[in-house]
Amino acid sequence: MGRPDEEEDATLDKTSVVQSETFKVRLAQAGQAPPCFVLLVGPASAVGRQWPIEDTDRILGRAATAHISVDDRSVSKSHCKIILSGGDVSIMDLESTNKTVVNGRVLTPLVPVKLANNDQVKAGNVIFKFLERGNIETVSAGMTYEKAHTDALTGIANRGGLNSRGVEAFRRAELLGVPFSIITFDIDHFKQVNDTFGHPAGDFVLKEICKVIRERLIRENDFFARSGGEEFCLVLLGSGLNQAHEIGERIRHTIEVHRFEFEGKVIPITISVGVATKQTGDGSWDQVFERADKALYVSKRAGRNRVNVGT
């Protein structure tokens, strides 16, 4: 039997090996990471978000079509241009209203300035940090942002991720002139599931619903998030009311007939669904979400396990 200090040394050795291997993986990931911009100050739902610079002539601005698009009124629609050449990244102000500033220096319009690692770029009231190619911070920042916007239990987006993507999809729908719809749904009598079968069974149901919907029911461009405890939301860019209603009904029916079996016990599960589409006069995605949410509660009051359309 070894001495306590020997056992402690062995434990420390094992720990250092694990940390070293993890660090090596991150270094390998960093080596493949392109240069990027990270949002430091700006819309709360987007702080920490990264935009990789993998091509030249990328526009940073308020327009939904901008490669780096930030919804802040202090930012011009086409505020500045990011230029990638021979591995170097430069920035050029596009005669913006509120100027482009790098490390406190106001840029002369239409004159490119080369960026260095960790430079701070201010566009209007929004501030970014520039990270050069292969910076390990790119990996760490990306992991932090993803973790903050991901639901730990189900692996889909959380409410923070939904808020960020909802704003972005709404703006894009307005710009492109395409429909924008939202589906919300709630698991019927979910408290009874937890009370009857236990909380591990409830967690299983939440994860299984997400698995079924992701694998069988949503398209590549649809966005799926857990908006609350047993509440979920789909953002459908390009889908009108009829199509959104069909998708909502398909989800409702699939969940109703799916076999939820946990530790040998079958758990009957149904959902109540609300659907809404962007209307003329809607100024934000929240208005569409609120109509879908109200429609969901109409479904619940009407007996549950049904789809209702918000007007």
* Maximum C-alpha span of the chain: 78
Residue with the two structure tokens 């079924």 = 212
Say which residues have a Cβ less than 8 Å from residue 109's Cβ, sequence separation at least 6.
93, 94, 95, 96
Tell me which of 132, 168, 208, 230 is the catalytic residue: 230
What are 7's two structure tokens? 């056992």
DSSP class of 63: S
Check if the beta carbon of residue 180 is closer than 8 Å to that of residue 277: yes
Q: Which residues of 242-274 are buried (b: 16+ CB within 10 A; e: fewer)?
A: eebbebbeebbeebeeeebebeeeebebbbbbb
CA distance 117 to 264: 56
Active site residue 168: no
Mind telling me the catalytic residues?
230
